Structure 1
Amino acid sequence: MRVAGNATGMDIDQIVSDLMDAERQPLNKMEQDKTKIEWERDAYRDVNKQFLELDNLALDMKLDRTYQSKEASATGSAVTAEASSSAGEGRYNVEVTQLASAAYNISETKLSADRDEKLDPDDDIGNQFAEWADGGSFTITTSEGEHEFTFESDDSLNDVLKDISGAGVGVRAFYDGSADKVMMERSETGNRMDGDEMAFTGDGATFLTDTLGLNNERGGADAAFNYGDSDFEITSHENNYSVNGVDFTFSEVGSSTVNVTNNVDGAVEKITDFVDKYNEIIEGLGDKLSERKNRDYDPLTEEQKEAMEDDEIEKWEEEAKKGLLQGDSVISGALSQMRGSWYNKVENDGAFNHLSQIGIETSSNYRDRGKLEVDEDKLREALTEDADSVKQLFSNNGEGESTGIVRQIEDTISNTRQSIERKAGKDTSLNQSFTLGRELVNLDDRMLKFQDRLTQIEDRYWSEFGAMEKAIQDMNSQSSYIQQNFGGGMM
């Protein structure tokens, strides 16, 4: 039982609180240690995210299209074109003689022409078309397959058309009220079947041909174009076609000339993007490795934060987080290995075996910590002269001295990220699976046990002060009794 200091006049609450503040100091220290471990864990994970960004860019550095990307430009409006990395450079003359079209079928006459009232597509078929009072069935066949449709007298025309559109045979069907006609069309262009692109069969096929007037299919034509020589005609079901790595799209009947050239500027941009990301990472990590710890700033406890403004907390923690990765051997080792990769010669059968030959060299300023500088003019010349050799320099899939620079860097990134994950895990990792996580688990366990101990200590303090209060209260009662009796005897 907790009692106030009525007998002693002492502020027992404040005394116990002060005593517990002193007892709680080890717990506060553990809370600060936990925060610091969490900061360290997050700092390592941020490093891994940066390495992952560089690793993703490295994927592009291994692709042919990065170094041998092509650019296509077309004169006239008949054709547009895109060139893949495999496209041959040069001029392509294309004459489009016919565009691909989709087959369609429209009611020959208005469906309400012989009616007293206009057709209601949402009313029962039996009410709208007396000859189909018992329903019916028909089959539609396209290049995508065939499907049998059955309708009842209480189905509406819109119900039937909706079923046709959703049957998966590549047909769209609808009734237009203003035209008062049904339209049925293929979702794909081209002449894909012998005969009609939408063939109607079955006992109820006359519902489509006679009742709805869908008996005059049009369209369904292939695109046709002359490539180079007018005698070399090519057809396509669609308004696009690929020749020699060039994708042509046909817009109208007419002629166009397509020029395909090597897109050197695109290759320069991708290479410099990779170098820029590398420079950004080594600069940022270099700063973290050399950043000194500020030992005057420990992590704040929750109690300390309650007494501070948000901006004060932010500034304090900025100082407290300094030096979390100071001198880390795994990160410094990774940076050293990556710098070494840029200096290495790459043995290959191309014209270039060292980065300096294509305009990429290490900065002469030692303060740049090995950042790279790119001479874009020299790089452009190298790509123009032998783009494949530039690719081999970066991504040659060999062994030892034949390993491309990017592949060497990828190996370093992979090993480093694995080491960091063993120490700091990743967002989806369980604490027990990595070193810092296990430290957090152990610390949580210690904090929980210490909290139980604090509870016992606080109960003991209250018990002791309660006993003291009771003893003094008893003494005061005895003293009062004696004074009363002594006072009575003197009378």
Structure 2
Amino acid sequence: MASNMRIGGLASGMDIDQIVTDLMKAERIPLDKLTQKKQFLEWQRDDYREMNTSLLELDTQIFDGVFKQGSYAKKTISVSDPAALGVKNINSTVDFSGTVQVDTLAKAATMFSKASSTINTTDKLVAQGITAQTLTIKAIGKDGKLDQGVPIEITADDTIGTLIDKINKSTGVNAYFDEQKGTLSIIAKNTGDVAGTAEIELSPSGNAGDFWTAMNMHSDNIAASTDVSAGGPFGSVGANAALTYNGMPIERSSNNFTINGVEFILKQENTGNVNFSSSTDTDAILDTIVKFADKYNSVIEKVKNELEEKRYRDFQPLTTEQKDAMNEKDIERWEEKARSGTLKGDTILSGALNKMRMDLATAVEGVTGATQLAEIGITTSSNYLEGGKLVIDEDKLKAAITADPNGVYELFAKDGNSSATDGLARRLRDTIKDTMNNIETRAGKSYSVNNTFTLGRNLDSIDDQIVRFEDRLLQVEDRYWRQFTAMEKAIQRFNEQSMYMMQQFGGGM
């Protein structure tokens, strides 16, 4: 189309391409500002998300450390005869001691085939006379009681091997088939004696084609243990552990059991009294608190640095053309200043910093031991420029842990009905959660869609403005070219007329 023709200075001798390019540079200035604004918002969004990552790391450190009761239950335990008795602290925050005499160990019930079977491991069970059926296996549970039974299906595809796998994976017994002898053995996974009944019950049995009948198994372990026919008995009953705990005879269905938050592991019988005692592992608890303080201090420092980082307004994000004219080192130095101060004076972070300081500075109401960090040797730095970092007097903290580890636990993790009665770590986690939610509302997460958070909606708006402005620039550039093309055509016509007139004057002389 004639209107789209561009004539580049043939008539005027002017560099129209360069003139239009220079004119468009001026026209593009608002677009460059939009692009720079978009880049700054993207940097700000990324820096917000980085702050959330740091806050999450602090929250995880708190949860896995000073927030857990087990962190304060770390004990050094001594046992006079470790070969006979094992002792492990589970959640006792107070020291303990005593004696255990192991009279008998808990034993698991067993039963096995009273005669060999004709079952082989190669063929499917149904091809060997076993009907498709549902077996039911009841066994003693960890609570020392007989369970309700687990159904096991024998399908047309099952061999003895696949059936044994099903039994071992799903029921309270372990089964083993000896293919050389053609016999099956079963042992309860849990030890102990179920009073008044068997510890293993098998059904159905007694009919042709029933699996247990084919394997020559009794219906339960009591029947198997009392069968004294040739080769018998064919099983045993379960037995509870019998012991004397601090002078008191007791029984347990398992050799592993817990009393008052302490786990006991019985290993040998008839060893006489075994003495045990514990002492607080002060160093381990101290290490947990120090790790919390170090992480807290690093996050406080990072937040404070972000809030006070200088904003260099003369250093705007570079455009593509500006980058093309610079070397990599200059670009790096420029963008370091351009990206500085994205979160300077941010109200979310400054509010969180103040709240976190108050969380740790306010006394905990309703606890029996220390009510403030200072009482256990943890204070804030006297240097106000450090923003309230924690300083630990290790000797004083060790003494507090040794004297009352449970009191230190309550100071950090007490679950109260309000902020005033909540432990310090619990308050801190609530503040971290609120801050992270506020940041997500403003900056989203890495997988968030732009229209679900504030900065994302701002970025979408800028993108729309950029698209509209680019369309406008195309129209402006086209207008410039139409104007210069019209000028070139006018000059061309003038030149043609001048040549004609000169030819006319020259022809008349």
Superposition TM-score tier, normalisation by shorter sequence: 0.7 to 0.9
Map of 2:20 onto structure 1: 16
How far residue 434 of structure 1 moved from its aligned partner, in angstroms, is 4.5
Distance of 1:388 and 1:330 partners within structure 2: 35
The number of residues matched between the two structures is: 475
Task: Give the corresponding residue for 1:197.
Answer: 200
SS of residue in 2 equivalent to 1:28: helix
Q: 1:243 matched to which residue of 2? A: 259
* 1:260 corresponds to 2:278: yes
Between 1:221-230 and 1:76-85, the stretch displaced more is 221-230
Shift in Å, 1:38: 1.9
Q: Distance in 2 between matches of 1:411 and 1:158?
A: 54
Tell me the equivalent position of 2:98. 91
- How far apart are residue 353 of structure 1 and its match? 3.9
C-alpha displacement of 1:270? 2.5
2:336 maps to which of 318, 325, 330: 318
Aligned residue runs from structure 1 range 6-155, under 5 A: 7-8=10-11, 10-59=14-63, 61-74=66-79, 75-86=81-92, 89-95=96-102, 97-101=104-108, 103=110, 105=112, 108-109=115-116, 119=120, 121-124=121-124, 129=128, 132=129, 135=131, 137=133, 139-143=135-139, 144=147, 145=149, 147=151, 149=153
The secondary structure found in structure 2 opposite 1:234 is strand
Superposed CA offset, 1:170-229 (max 9, x none):
45556566x464545356223566346242434546664564455665356345141426
The one-letter amino acid paired with 2:408 is V
1:218 aligns with 2:243: no
Gaps of 5+ in 1: 113-118
Identity of aligned residues (%): 35
**Who is 2:249 aligned against?**
232
Cα deviation 1:133-160 (Å, max 9, x = unaligned): x8465744323415375566x8654465
1:33 positional shift: 0.9
1:186–1:38 distance in 2 versus 1, CA, 3 Å: farther
Asked if the contact 1:96–1:224 (Cα under 8 Å) also holds between the matched residues in 2, the reply is yes
Contact between 1:66 and 1:270, CA under 8 Å: does it hold in 2?
yes
- d(CA) in 2 for partners of 1:368 and 1:252? 58
- Corresponding residue for residue 229 of structure 2: none
Residue 294 of structure 2, aligned match among 266, 270, 276: 276
Letter in structure 1 aligned against 2:375? Q
Does 1:297 pair with 2:307? no
The reply on whether 1:285 has 2:303 as its aligned counterpart is yes
Correspondence for 1:5: 8
Give the alignment's Cα RMSD to 1 decimal.
Answer: 4.0
Alignment equivalent of 1:378, drawn from 372, 376, 396: 396
Q: Check the 8 A contact 1:138/1:202 in 2, yes or no.
A: no
Deviations along 1:241-273, one digit per CA (max 9) or x if unpaired, are 112211223455575543233333333223222
Indicate conservation of the 8 Å contact 1:138/1:203, yes or no.
no
The 1:92–1:481 alpha-carbon spacing in structure 2 relative to 1, beyond 3 Å, is farther
Q: Deviations over 1:7-33 (max 9, x none)?
A: 335554444333322221211111111
Residue identity in the other structure for 1:259: S
Distance 1:250 1:474, change over 3 A: farther
- Aligned to 1:232, the other structure's residue is in SS state strand
Contact kept in structure 1, 2:95 and 2:280, CA below 8 Å = no
Preserved CA contact (<8 Å) 1:89 1:262 = no
Separation (CA, whole Å) in 1 of partners of 2:488 and 2:356? 73
Distance in 2 between residues matched to 1:231 and 1:385, nearest whole Å: 30
Instruction: Answer yes or no: is the 8 Å Cα contact 2:116–2:183 preserved in 1.
Output: no
Once the two structures are TM-superposed, the CA of residue 65 in structure 1 deviates from its matched residue by: 3.9
Q: Residues 421-440 of structure 1: matches in 2 within 5 Å?
A: 421-427=440-446, 430-432=449-451, 434-440=453-459
SS of corresponding position for 1:221: coil
Distance 1:374 1:254, change over 3 A: farther
Displacement after TM superposition at 1:378 (Å): 0.8
2:109 and 2:329 map into 1 onto residues whose CA distance is 65
Secondary structure class of the residue paired with 2:304: helix
CA–CA separation in structure 1 for the residues paired with 2:341 and 2:208: 81
What pairs up with 1:172-183 in 2 under 5 angstroms? 179=180, 181=182, 183=184
Q: Distance in 1 between the 2:503 and 2:115 partners? A: 126
Aligned to 2:277, what secondary structure does the other structure show?
Answer: strand
Shift of the 208–253 alpha-carbon distance from structure 1 to 2, 3 Å rule, reads farther
Q: TM-score, normalised by structure 1?
A: 0.79
User: Could you tell which deviates more after superposition, 380-389 or 203-212?
Assistant: 203-212
- 1:462 is aligned, of 466, 481, 484, to 481
2:386 partner letter: D
The 1:150/1:459 distance shift into structure 2, 3 A limit, reads same
After TM superposition, the structure 1 = structure 2 runs for residues 329-478 of structure 1, keeping only pairs within 5 Å, are 329-346=347-364, 348=366, 350=368, 352-395=370-413, 397=416, 404-406=423-425, 409-410=428-429, 412-413=431-432, 416-417=435-436, 419-427=438-446, 430-432=449-451, 434-475=453-494
Q: How many angstroms does 1:303 deviate by? A: 4.3
Contact 2:204–2:210 (CA under 8 A) maintained in structure 1: no
Report the TM-score, using the length of structure 2 for normalisation. 0.76
> Any conservation in 2 of the 1:80–1:250 contact (CA below 8 Å)?
yes
Using the alignment, how far apart are the partners of 2:419 and 2:176 within structure 1?
67
User: Could you give the per-residue CA deviations for residues 289-326 of structure 1, whole angstroms, max 9, x where no partner exists?
Assistant: 22222344321234444566666544433232222233
Structure 1 residue 374: Cα displacement:
0.8
Contact map agreement 2:312 2:337 (CA 8 A) in 1: yes
> CA contact under 8 A between 2:122 and 2:159: conserved in structure 1?
yes
Q: Which amino acid aligns with 1:5?
A: G
**1:225/1:70 CA distance change after superposition, 3 Å:** farther
8 Å contact from structure 2 (residues 192, 240) kept in 1:
no
CA distance in 1, matches of 2:95, 2:404: 15
